[in-house]
Amino acid sequence: MAIRSILHPTDFSELSGVAFAHALRIALAARSKLHLLHVEPHNVGGTQAFPHVRQLLAQWGLAREDDPPWVVASRLGIEVDTTLLKGQEPTQGILGFLRESPSHLTVLATRGGDGLEHWLNGSVSEIVARHSAAPTLFIAPGARSFVSQITGEIKLRRALVPIDFSPRADKAIKTATLLGRLLTGAEIALHLIHIGRTAPPISAGATGTARAPEVMLRSGSVVNTIIDVAIEFDVDFIGMATAGHRNILDVFRGSTTERVIRHAPCPVIAIPAA
C-alpha cells in the first residue's frame, strides 16, 4: 500500500496515545513520513509535550532512546516531524495543514457524540475525515486496538467491509486488503456484508483474486447489523466506503460510517469513494 505520508493530529489525551501507536506502527511498515500535529485554540504560553517517538520505539525494542533522529530514519526508514498551531480552531487548523501537506492516511482518535450533542457540537475527527481525500483511520473509546501500545505487536487477522450500491465499495475492499498485506505481509480474511436482499456486483480485481469474493446478506438496521457482524466475526478493523452526508437526517445523526465509528468494537477506516 503506497503510504508515503501519515498525519496524526493529537490532543495529548490517553486515547490519542492509542491512535499514535497505530500511526507509528503503520509508518514503520510503510517506511513513510509521520506528521504529528497539535492545534491549540488558545494562544497560551505553555503546552504539553508531543508523543515521545524514540521512547516508544525503544519500548518496542526497535531503537534506543538516545538514538538521534537521523539514526532512527536510516535504520527504520521513517521520518517524524511535529507541528504546533496556536490560536486556531482545531478543525480548521487540521484541514489547513492537510491542504498544505496532503497525506495518504490520517489517524485520529474520536469521541463523536450522538443526536442533539452531535448536531450542536459536531466532531473534529468526523469533520476532518469528511473533507479529506485520503483514508482516515478512527480509534474510538473502547474499541479493541490491532496495534499493542505496549509492545508494538500487530494483531490483524480479519476485516469487515460493508458494501452497497452507492457509494461503491471496490476502493474500500482494495484498501482493506492492501492495509492487511502491508501490516502482516500476508493475506488477511476479508468478510464482505450487504444489508439487503441482493448484493451489488464486486469485481475480482478489488481483492486481487481470480474471482469475485462472496458477499454475506443480512437484514435489519444497517448500523446495528454492521456492528453485530463485526462482533460475530471478531474482526480487527472495519473498512467503509464513505460519501459524506446525503440528507438533513445525516447532518443530525451522522452518516452511516460516522455512526458505525462511534459504536464499533474495533478501529474503522473510512475510505472516500470518489
Q: What is the mean pLDDT of residues 266-271?
A: 94
- pLDDT value of position 245: 45
CATH 3.40.50.10140 fits 5-139, yes or no: no
Q: Taking 70 as the threshold, does the pLDDT of residue 247 lie above it?
A: no
Question: Is 158-272 the same fold as 5-139?
Answer: yes
- pLDDT value of position 56: 95
Q: Taking 90 as the threshold, does the pLDDT of residue 262 lie above it?
A: no
What's the per-residue H, E or C state across 233-254?
Answer: CCCCEEEEEECCCCCHHHHHHC
Lowest mean pLDDT among 102-116, 130-144, 221-235: 102-116
* Percentage of residues in the chain having pLDDT higher than 70: 85
pLDDT band at residue 259 under the 50/70/90 scheme: confident
Distance CA 71, CA 63 (A): 9
Distance CA 217, CA 194 (A): 5
Which SS3 state, helix, strand or coil, does residue 38 take?
A: strand
Which SS3 state, helix, strand or coil, does residue 150 take?
A: coil
The Cβ of residue 245 has, within 10 Å, a number of other Cβ atoms equal to: 14
CB 110 within 8 A of CB 80: no
What digits encode the pLDDT tens for the residues 168-202?
Answer: 888 899 999 999 999 999 999 999 999 999 988 88
- Select the CATH number that applies to the domain covering 158-272 from these four: 3.40.50.620, 3.30.70.600, 3.30.1280.10, 3.40.640.10: 3.40.50.620
How open is the CA angle 63-68-71, to the nearest 5 degrees?
A: 65
32 by Cβ neighbours in 10 Å (0-12 / 13-18 / 19+) ranks as: buried
pLDDT band at residue 274 under the 50/70/90 scheme: low
Which sequence spans correspond to the domains of the chain? 5-139, 158-272
- pLDDT value of position 165: 86
